[in-house]
Amino acid sequence: MRFARALLPLALLVACSSEPRPRPPGVLFVSVEQQSAWVRNFNPLFAGAGARWPTRAGVYECMEIFSSAQGKWVPWLATGHAWSEDQRTLRFTLRDGVLWSDGKPFSADDVVFTFGLLKQHPALDAGGVWRFLTDVKAEGQGTVAFTFSRVYLPGFSDLAHQIIVPRHVWKDVADPVTFTNPEPVATGPFTQVTLFRNQVYELGRNPHYWQPGKPAVSALRFLAFPTNDQANMALVEGEVDWAGNFVPAVDRTFVSRDPAHHARWFPLYGSTVFLYPNTTRPPLDDVRVRKALSMALDRDRLVEVAMYGYTRPADATALNDAYTGWKDPQVAKDAWTHHDLDAANKLLDEAGLTRGADGMRRLKDGQPFALDLEVVSGWSDWVRAGQVVGRDLRKLGIGVTLKTYEFGTWFTRLQRGEFQLAISWSLDGPTPYNFYKWLLSPRTVRPVGEVAAANWHRMGDAQADELLVRFERAGTLEEQHALMSQVQQRFSATAPAIPLFPNPSWGESNSLRFTGFPTEQNPYARLAPHAEPDSLLVLTELTPRER
Amino acid sequence: MGRYILRRLGFYLIAAWASLTLNFIIPRLAPGDPAAAMFARFEGKVAPEAMGALKAAFGFTDAPLYAQYFTYLKHLVQGDLGMSYAYFPARVTEVIGTGLMWTVGLAGVAVIISFVVGSFLGVLAAWNRGGWLDSGLAPALAFLGAFPYFWLAMLALYLFGFVLGWFPLRHAYGHDMEPGLSFAFAADVARHAVLPASSIVVATLGGWMLGMRNTMVATLGTDSIRLAHARGLPPRQVMLRYAARNALLPNVTSFGMAVGFVLSGSLLTEIVFSYPGTGYLLILAVRNQDYPLMQGLFLVITLAVLAANFAVDLLCLWLDPRTRAHA
């Protein structure tokens, strides 16, 4: 009691000093990464590792930027590019007058040097550009020529999106793979690390930025939020100006609190979420069985229950909204992604999987048809999706056991092909080329037990691959679209994996202190801050309301 | 007595070696391939061709286990805990360094407060057996302690942080504070620590109190206490110097074990309050199969627990004359 009496005034004293903290004008508060404490790492070359956002699109820059919201390439460090007649050489014309943040000029030498680093250190060559390149050389200060080993037009996006680092700094770096680059020298809008502590860091403007008057934002500040709940609370309270979080019931919990300023935009530009069947295991090797599984799914309910209605059911092309222009409307109508239990049952009957007396389907050897469905434990949206899928498949007489694993274990099993059914994402790029290549090309199939980066379902289609190879050489847009239509027909005919829904690209903004966020009406980039390199477009566009 | 201490020290050295060895073996027996998990986080950003080079960069080797074991021991002696996979290319020592101080500070203070206050309440409860402390507070605290811990923490966060706005919702100090040896900074740190620390205290207080109360009740029934009363000593002196000192032993022994909780068990507190400690690092390390980081954290926890138990041994030596007699 005496203790409580002593503590209470102390608690009140401490509590009374609590007031909303003023935020420095012009400083944009961003929430992208979920971390409990920041580790100082600004290495832009080692893709996907622990570099702080926005190292790869904000501190450093690339030559051109594909804006999936606009569906076009935006010139950046390069003003343009041209292919040679034989499509074996690609020349980028670099922008004049670009300076590194230490005042030294940016030139073709830096580009050549950067690609040289990738060749020397394959761990940095995330796109695998040296599979199709034979040489990179400077032609004067302002032109870089890339020589290809074969005609491979999709290689353009890998080159255009490569981050460029300054030769005069990185030539002295002993090991660029393990270099943490604590004081970055870069061409991007925000290059100065003005504050770095375990719970907060701040990036100030590049004093030599090449776009006059930009960025208008004076600094970016990042607070550490280890969980989604914490990040969402800060967003709802207005402590964060720009975020890319999954927010449950976002319109009620966030937008409605200040409809004039709070906005969310979840375009369906994320990858497509699939139900992957392991096609090396009978009867999942039978296209009729895969299509039957697909037709058993009530995708309308799936997106409502699992995804709060933030997305729509996938169609038979499996393409998300970033590829709307590529979609073949005829293929999209194919019936195998529509909910139709009768048709699904008929397909299974045809495939010889008859129902036993207990109503459960049997394999040809008399064993019950039962599958394990694997998802990541804790990924609540996918776990819910797995529950809906399981219930729908049981209506066909297929036993489904939902199994959740820790992420590492789950992904290992997926990559090695040691699963029966699994829910996972897909890979994509500026065109649907990579997307379908990883779904359909025999070149991406690895034996069970060997790690595969994608094509976890382990299926290849020779006809589709021939079309994809022709696509690599297709110079005109008409030709590309015609080929991609045929690829979609092959996808729909073979149903290598079962598309569920396109993943939304999460983005929330609070325009109380800043204007210029992309919206559905002004879709100059994705609002999702993790959508690199779109974030460069946003960071240079935002303007503070107060100075 | 010197020999006794030396013998205990020898025991702790062997225990430390055994835990280091387990620390090496256990993650390697676990299912899953860390290289694949590593790759996973790139979600297609890395070409499969880069994988071999990546493995080399991360130091994955196919060397036989015993060779890896000796390399592991050698690096440990040199204070090199390797590179974190999850925070690559940061070093494990650097990553642990970002959080260790805060965890030790927060959970350490909370556990000490809980131990001292809980034990003291236990003494009072036993002394006034049947009083409101004994029949009211003790069951209430036991009840609170039985709640899922994170639920208590979230309730505190919601009520005192979000609704009432009395305390900050997250972090160890305000992001506009300049860390340093100033009164303002210390006050800010204290203000940020109130909710997380008190949620740990509330959840664990009941255990200390009950433990202390029960031994104390037994001690009060012994002849020595009756003798002390008969000698006409002041009640306060009897309660504290005679009864409490003897009854404290089991609680002190448990305290050594509670130190393990200081480093690993404050994990949920840190998650709920975004406190920048080692707890969240541990979750992340497990999720990413970040062996070096896991090993580093377990090493710190193990050594802390062993050191605390050694300290407890010494304390018991002082508290309990019987230990001295045996030594």
If you average pLDDT over every residue of chain A, what do you get?
Answer: 90
Q: What are the pLDDT digits (tens) for B181-221?
A: 788 888 888 888 888 888 888 888 888 898 888 888 888 88
Average pLDDT score over residue span B166-186: 81
pTM of the predicted protein model: 0.83
- Give me the residue from B84, B166, B170 closest to A18, CB to CB: B166
Residue A171 has pLDDT above 90, yes or no: yes
**pLDDT tens for residues A244-292?**
988 888 999 999 999 999 999 999 988 899 999 999 998 999 999 999 9
Q: What is the reported pLDDT for B133?
A: 84
Residue A14's pLDDT band (boundaries 50, 70, 90)?
A: very low
Is residue A419's pLDDT more than 90? yes
Q: Of the segments A76-90, B85-99, B101-115, which one has the largest average pLDDT value?
A: A76-90
**Percentage of the residues of chain B whose pLDDT score is greater than 90:** 1
- Tell whether the model's pLDDT for residue B278 goes beyond 50: yes
Q: What confidence tier does B49 reach under pLDDT thresholds 50, 70, 90?
A: low
- Please tell me if residue B50 touches chain A, with a CB cutoff of 8 Å: yes
- What's the mean pLDDT in A478-501? 96
| Res A13 pLDDT > 70 | no
Tokens matching residue B217:
């009740």
- Best CA proximity match to A386, nearest among A484, A310, A521, A498: A498
Cα separations in angstroms, A151 against A90, A147, A154, A328, B220: 11, 10, 9, 26, 91
Query: A389 or A379: whose pLDDT is higher?
Result: A389
User: Does the bond joining A283 to the residue before it have cis omega, within 30 degrees of 0?
Assistant: yes
Q: Any CB–CB contact under 8 A between B180 and chain A? A: no
The residue of chain A with its CA nearest to that of B285 is: A408
Residue A102 is predicted with a pLDDT of: 96
Q: What is the mean pLDDT of residues B95-115?
A: 85
Weakest mean pLDDT among A96-110, A111-125, B230-244: B230-244
* Rounded-to-integer distance, Cα B222 and Cα A216, Å: 78
ipTM reported for the complex, 2 dp: 0.73
pLDDT at position B27 over 80: no
At B209, the amino acid letter reads M
Residues of chain B positioned with their CB less than 8 A from the CB of A163: none
pLDDT for B82 beyond 90? no
pLDDT > 90? residue B59: no
Instruction: Give the highest mean pLDDT range of A130-139, A373-382, A427-436.
Output: A130-139
Question: Of A192, A170, A52, A41, which Cα lies nearest the Cα of A111?
Answer: A170
Mean pLDDT of A310-320: 96
User: What is the pLDDT of chain B when averaged over all its residues?
Assistant: 81
Question: Which residues, 6+ apart, have CB-to-CB distance to B321 below 8 Å?
Answer: none
pLDDT of residue A3: 39
Going by the DSSP 8-state scheme, the letter that residue B89 receives in this structure is T
Task: Tell me if A503 sits within 8 A of A476, measured CB to CB.
Answer: no
Element containing residue A417 per DSSP (H, E): none
Tell me, what's the pLDDT at B83?
Answer: 81
Using the Cβ of B33 and the Cβ atoms of chain A, whether some distance falls under 8 Å is answered with yes
Q: How far apart are CA A204 and CA A184, in angstroms?
A: 12
pLDDT of the residue at A17: 39
Band (B223; pLDDT cuts 50, 70, 90): confident
pLDDT value at position A18?
40
pLDDT band at A1 (very low <50, low <70, confident <90, very high): very low
pLDDT recorded at residue B142: 83
pLDDT at B266: 75
pLDDT classification of A8: cutoffs 50, 70, 90: very low
pLDDT at residue A7 above 60? no
B contacts of A408 (beta carbons < 8 Å): 32-34, 36-37, 40, 287-289
Note the pLDDT of residue B44: 54
Q: Residue A75's closest CA among A543, A536, A401?
A: A536
pLDDT above 90 for B69: no
Distance from CA of A71 to the nearest CA of B (A): 20
> Predicted confidence band at B261 (pLDDT cuts at 50, 70, 90)?
low
Size of interface A-B (CB pairs under 8 A): 186
| SS3 at position A94 | strand
The pLDDT-based confidence of A15 (bands split at 50, 70, 90) is very low
Of the candidates A50, A200, A226, the beta carbon closest to that of B86 is on A50
Pairing of strands A421-424, A272-277: antiparallel
Sheet with A272-277: list strands edge to edge: A399-405, A370-376, A421-424, A272-277, A498-502
| B179–chain A Cβ distance below 8 A for any pair | yes
Task: Name which of B111-115, B146-150, B263-267 the model is least confident about.
Answer: B263-267
Task: Inform me whether the C-beta atom of residue B45 falls under 8 Å from chain A C-beta atoms.
Answer: yes
